[in-house]
Structures are given as C-alpha cells and as structure tokens.
Structure 1
Amino acid sequence: MPKLKRGDNDERATDFVESLDRGLRLLQKFGTTTGPMTLSDLARAAELPRATARRILFTLERAGFVATDGKLFTLTPHVLTLAASFLRSSQVVTVLQPVLDRIAATAQEISSLAVLDGEEVVFIARGSPARMFSAGLDIGYRLPSFCTSVGRAMLGQFDNAELAARLAAMRRAPMTAHTVTDPKLLLAAIIADRAQGYSLVDREAEPHFRSVSVPIRRYDGAIIAAINMGAHVDRVSAGEMIDRFLPLLREGAEQVKSMLL
C-alpha cells in the first residue's frame, strides 16, 4: 500500500499511522490460506520485512487476536469482536434485519443483505426460516460483484461511463460455466437491471443457484446495499422468483428507505 504524501493531503498524511495499517494488513492475510501460517508466510503475504511482521504478530498475540506455538500463528476467536462491532454499529443491519426475517418467514426461503466492498460484495445479514439450515451465504461471505444479483443491483448506482470503466478494470474470472465475463455484455445487463429496478442472476456465481435482488436506497435515493433471495434451480424457477420473491423484496426496500440516513 503506498504511503500518503503531504502533497496529497497534509492533514491525512500527518494523521496516518503506518504501524496500524501494517497490522490490519497482516490480520487480513490469515484468510489467504487454511490453517496456521508461519512468520515467513505472513511476512511474504503482507509484503512486510520479517522483523516487522514478527513485532506486529507478537503485539497481536499480546492483545489476544493471535495465538502461536512459537512457530505457527493462528487467529483467535477474539478477532470476531471486530466483526461484531461492525454489525452492532451498522444502521443498515439494524433497520434491515426485521425486514429480512419477515421476508424469509413469508417466502420460506433465505433472504440476505449485502454491501459493496471494492470489486466484491460482502453479506452482512440474513434471514432464514426456522425450518431451514443452509451453508454458504453466511455473514461475512464474499463474492465477486459482477456475477451476483446483489452486486449488479448495487453497480447500477454508477453512471454508464464510470460503470464501464469499473467493469473493464475488474477481475472477471468465471465462477461457473454460465458466468458472463464480457464487459460489454455485463454493462448492458446492469443498465437493463437498473431500468427495471432488480437483478436476476442465474447460475453465474454458484452452480445450480439463482437469485433475485433489489437495491436498498437511503432517504435521498442513494444505493447503499442490496437484498436478495435465492434458491436451487431445481426447486424455484426464474418465473417464481419474479412473481413471488420480487414483490416481497421491493416492499421491504421501500419500507426502509425513509429510515436510512
């Protein structure tokens, strides 16, 4: 990550804490592999000198975020307090959770809330019928934005020129045999979704799974999130998603608009 220069913004450059930035980057690198990691692996992944990474890791260990046997390092459950703080402080989650629960109970299907984070979407809340357990789109789950219905619903907030530039610069590796990766086709699809007010994506992000999403707008009309419902293709048709799920999603999105600042 490049350092901030005084010429860019004197106040931000003065207030920038490089050691904190490095520590956060190092924490994120634990997710790049499964299982414990060595000091060398973490230093290399975070592009830090080995001695710097060592000091940061032992600081994180003392704070309770990292555990080590002297050779290997792992995250501790204490890191979940960071995610919990976000969820407790998020107005979007607080306002949308009752909506997700109601939609899920009515449709007897899982409903999810996602936000845009760079090129990806991250799911930050969900509603699930009591009868249903499902792995997959849990809180914190991330997917590319270009091939998901929540992602396309949120990408529609950008004007055509900016959207085209974002799609061209975005990593667009296919997730399934059905994934559309051509930036021109994606641009046309997102523009069409923006006009109709929803996005339906069929088996592009995950095999055998389709979903429909609508954008969540705050009081001034700005898109800040998206909610969706999805199901296995053998269980719910695209037509049923439009006829049964879409009205519930639209009603929920409209209901919370005046409540989001």
Structure 2
Amino acid sequence: MATASTPENGDYFVKSAEKTLSVLLAFTGDRPALSVTQVAEATDLTRAAARRFLLTLTDLGYLATDGTLFKQTPRVLDIGASYLAGLSLPQAAKRHLVALAQELDETATLSVLDGQDVLYISRVAAPRLHSVTLNVGSRLPAWVTSMGRVLIAELPEAAREDFIQKIVPQEFTSRTISTTDALRAELLKVKEQGWALVEQELDEGMRGVAVPITRGGEVIAALNVSIQPGRAKREVLTDRVIPLLQATAQRIADDFGGRQLSAGAAGS
C-alpha cells in the first residue's frame, strides 16, 4: 500500500514522487510481475493513474512490459548504487553481527586475510561478556583459526599452496594441526564442506566456527563465532550454528551489494 501523506508533510511534499516510489515498491520477490490492476490495488491509485506511472517508468527503463504484465529491470539497482558504493563491509555487517551475537549469546567476528594473518575488521562481543581481549585491528595467524582456514581454503590452488609454504608450523596447544601435510588435508576438507571448525588449536578451552562471505562469486571475508566447548555439543554446531552463520553471511553479502551483483550477472 502507498504511504498516505500526513499533516506533517509540508508544502514541499511532492505526491507524484511518493506515488512513483509506491509503484516501484509494489513489485516484490513474491510478486515480480504485476498487471495494471494489481498495481492500482497495491498502491491505492486508480487504474488510469497506475497505468500512467507504469508506462512512464517503462519509458525510463526501470520497468519492462509484455503488454499485459510489468516487471522491474536491473536499472532499478541504480537507485541504491551510490549508497552501496559508499558502504564499507564493516558497516554493512554490523547489525547482522549484533543479531548473531544476541541469537547465540556468543561473540561474532568478521575478518579478512592480510598477509599470513587474519585481520579483525568488525567484532561484537557476546551479551554475557563484559569485555573482550581481541578487538577490531587484532591479528592472529590465519592457518590456526577457523576464519583463516575458510579464507585460505578459498584461495586459488597456486595461491593456497604458496600460503601453506610460508607457514612456520608450531604447536599452540596439544590439539594444534602442526604439519603442512595435515593442514593441507584440513583445508581441502574445509573447501569441500564450506565451513571450518577449529577445536582448541590456538587456545585451550575455545573453539571457533567460521563460514565464508561471498559476493559476486568472490570470497571477501569470513564470519565466525567463538564458542566454549562446554556451551554447545558438536551436533548443535552442525545443525544450528553453521546454518545460522551461513544465513547471516548471505545477508551481509546482500547488504554489501551482493544482491546487486547477482542481479547484474543474471541480466548479462
């Protein structure tokens, strides 16, 4: 439905702009193709007025029609392009990290590869925690973290092997995968399954679960939650935590322009 103007709207208020936006917003994922009558009903416009708006938007390239039904074109993405262009990945991810941390009551982190390290670019502590020891700008050896393994696993084969060759293996705990052969096998497993689980390899009493964030077919970051072993059984990780991470990663990618890239690819 169109948003009705209110007494607070001043003399500046342009009703035709409101109506234009209401026509564009009438199209949804569930209703991608609409007739003149359906648009009129959705926007509280007369059929004649709805038809004029639809034909004008078609002439401008924002809609296409087969003579009966109208659909949005990829050009509607231009409306939000400048906003997306100025949006940083941490900004796009922040609200999703907050929601994830609250949902799981665990700390959620976003990181990227920087040399041989993972670099924390956004982090939201679990609501139950009053402080965190790692913050934005912190670095950890990528090969021994769940986020790092997700990011290394998605590198092209030659780049991945070069990365592995530069690692200086060491045993941070008794559980650390500390040989290049074992690490290489683990990275192949991570790439195949699409997520990484690191069980107390860097720090006793802590495990990390991570998934990649992909935009336009390119992995741009990793999303992770850190969970103490006693707080969740392994089946909880695979049945609940990982699917929630993957859904959150998709939402972050979409807000960072991933939906725009996908639509552009589909129209090419």
The interval holding the TM-score normalised by the smaller chain is: 0.5 to 0.7
Q: What's 2:152 paired with?
A: 155
Distance in 1 (CA, whole Å) between partners of 2:237 and 2:115 is 28
Distance in 1 (CA, whole Å) between partners of 2:127 and 2:143 is 31
Give yes or no for the alignment of 1:259 onto 2:255.
Answer: yes
One of 199, 202, 207 as aligned partner of 1:205: 202
Aligned residues: 172
What's the TM-score once normalised by structure 1's chain length? 0.61
Q: Kindly provide the amino acid, as one letter, of the partner of residue 214 in structure 1.
A: V
5+ residue gaps, structure 1, are 1-88
Q: What is the CA RMSD across the aligned residues, in angstroms?
A: 1.8
**1:139 is paired with a residue of what secondary structure?**
coil
Deviations 1:114-154 (A, max 9, x none): 11111011212112343322432322221100010000011
Give yes or no for the alignment of 1:104 onto 2:98.
Answer: no
Equivalent pair of 1:163/1:187 in contact (CA under 8 Å) = no
Q: What's 2:242 paired with?
A: 246
Distance in 1 (CA, whole Å) between partners of 2:125 and 2:240 is 17
Distance in 1 (CA, whole Å) between partners of 2:198 and 2:107 is 16
Q: Kindly provide the amino acid, as one letter, of the partner of residue 100 in structure 1.
A: L
Deviations 1:213-234 (A, max 9, x none): 001112x111111011111122
**1:146 is paired with a residue of what secondary structure?**
helix
Distance in 2 (CA, whole Å) between partners of 1:235 and 1:119 is 30
Equivalent pair of 1:201/1:212 in contact (CA under 8 Å) = yes
**1:245 is paired with a residue of what secondary structure?**
helix
Q: What's 2:225 paired with?
A: 229
Distance in 2 (CA, whole Å) between partners of 1:171 and 1:143 is 13
Q: What's 1:194 paired with?
A: 191
Distance in 1 (CA, whole Å) between partners of 2:231 and 2:103 is 17
What's the TM-score once normalised by structure 2's chain length? 0.60
**1:171 is paired with a residue of what secondary structure?**
coil
Equivalent pair of 1:210/1:238 in contact (CA under 8 Å) = no
Give yes or no for the alignment of 1:181 onto 2:209.
Answer: no
Task: Give the share of equivalent positions with the same residue, in percent.
Answer: 29
Q: Kindly provide the amino acid, as one letter, of the partner of residue 141 in structure 1.
A: S
Deviation at 1:90, TM superposition (A): 7.0
